[in-house]
């Protein structure tokens, strides 16, 4: 487990972070900077006070074309929360993925989330021959 504060690899398990109504999270201590952290520290999920399972379910519904409001209604959460998770996810992807290829863009627009890649590829493939 890498330390999210100083990126040191010398960390060790140190008890659990208790969480209300949920399984406790494994907690770690960094031997370099002496800070405590858990599996979620430093990830976008650290700031999401719902279970990761629920976030995953909601984002899956969204990826399958369900509207923000519909997905929120199914889970019994505010639709603003769903939008927030999507924004976090976009941030997460831009931080964790390798740089997007030239010409790609991620557009978040109203109720929809699009990822478009390679829009400005050369249009003509049949320019062979003299």
- Could you give the CA distance from residue 3 to residue 32 in angstroms, rounded to a whole number? 9
Q: Rule CB under 5 A: is residue 3 a binding residue for Zn ion? A: yes
Contact 30, 11 (CB under 8 A): yes
Q: Which of 6, 80, 84, 117 binds Zn ion (CB under 5 A)?
A: 6
Contact, 28 vs 36, CB < 8 A?
A: yes
**Residue of 28, 30, 61, 82 that binds Zn ion (CB under 5 A):** 30
Nearer to Zn ion, 15 or 103 (CB): 15
Count of residues engaged in binding Zn ion, rule: CB under 5 A: 7
Name the residue with tokens 């952290």: 37
Distance CA 59, CA 48 (A): 13
Length of the chain in terms of residues written = 130
Site string for Zn ion, 31-50 (x = CB under 5 A): -xx-----------------
- Binding-site member from 5, 17, 59, 90 for Zn ion (CB under 5 A): 5
User: In 3-state terms, what secondary structure has residue 66?
Assistant: coil
Smallest distance from Zn ion to CB 24, Å: 21
Q: Are 116 and 104 in contact (CB under 8 A)?
A: yes
Query: Does 84 sit near Zn ion (CB under 5 A)?
Result: no
Name the residues that contact Zn ion, by CB under 5 A: 3, 5-6, 8, 30, 32-33
């Amino acid at each position: 487990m890498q330390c999210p504060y100083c990126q040191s690899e010398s960390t060790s398990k140190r008890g659990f972070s208790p969480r209300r109504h949920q399984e406790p999270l494994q907690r770690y201590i960094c031997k370099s900077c002496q800070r405590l952290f858990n599996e979620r520290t430093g990830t976008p999920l650290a700031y999401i006070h719902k279970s990761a399972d629920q976030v995953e379910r909601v984002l899956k519904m969204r990826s399958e074309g369900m509207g923000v409001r519909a997905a929120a209604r199914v889970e019994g959460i505010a639709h603003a929360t769903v939008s927030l998770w999507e924004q976090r996810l976009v941030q997460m992807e831009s931080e964790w993925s390798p740089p997007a290829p030239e010409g790609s863009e991620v557009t978040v627009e109203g109720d929809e989330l699009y990822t478009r890649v390679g829009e400005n590829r050369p249009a003509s493939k049949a320019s062979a021959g003299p």
